[in-house]
Amino acid sequence: MINLLPRRDLAEAGESLEEGGEFRARLWLFVSFLIAAGAVAGSVAVLVSATQQKDLAGMGVGSVLQCGFILLGSIVFWAFRSGESSSSGYGYITH
């Protein structure tokens, strides 16, 4: 969800004449980060409950690492990708 909105669209939303465009773009990013943080918090809850049973501790650690790496990867991809559309158009919403 984070990568559906390119950074250039966020910058252009503030300059556009459309009323509320910047607010909707920022709200989309906020909800996306909120869902990702909820996934990390849920995996921490799985880790806590899994450590109570010694044989399932690896599953809890793997869950936290997986959700953390997914969140980190999506943030890095969103922050450092170019603002120009690619030939395949992957990850960009066309208007």
| Residue pair 12/24 in contact by the 8 Å Cβ criterion | no
Q: DSSP of the chain, one letter per residue?
A: -GGGS-HHHHHHHHHSSSTTHHHHHHHHHHHHHHHHHHHHHHHHHHHHHHHTSGGGHHHHHHHHHHHHHHHHHHHHHHHHS-SSPPSS-TT----
Please report, for the chain, the start and end positions of each structural domain, with discontinuous segments joined by +.
2-80
Encoded tokens for 6 = 């390119």
pLDDT digits (tens, 9 = 90+) for 12-48: 666 665 677 778 878 888 898 899 999 999 999 989 9
pLDDT digits (tens, 9 = 90+) for 49-60: 888 887 888 888
**CA–CA distance, 88 with 95 (Å, rounded to integer):** 15
**pLDDT at residue 92 greater than cutoff 60:** no
pLDDT recorded at residue 86: 47
**pLDDT at residue 87 greater than cutoff 50:** no
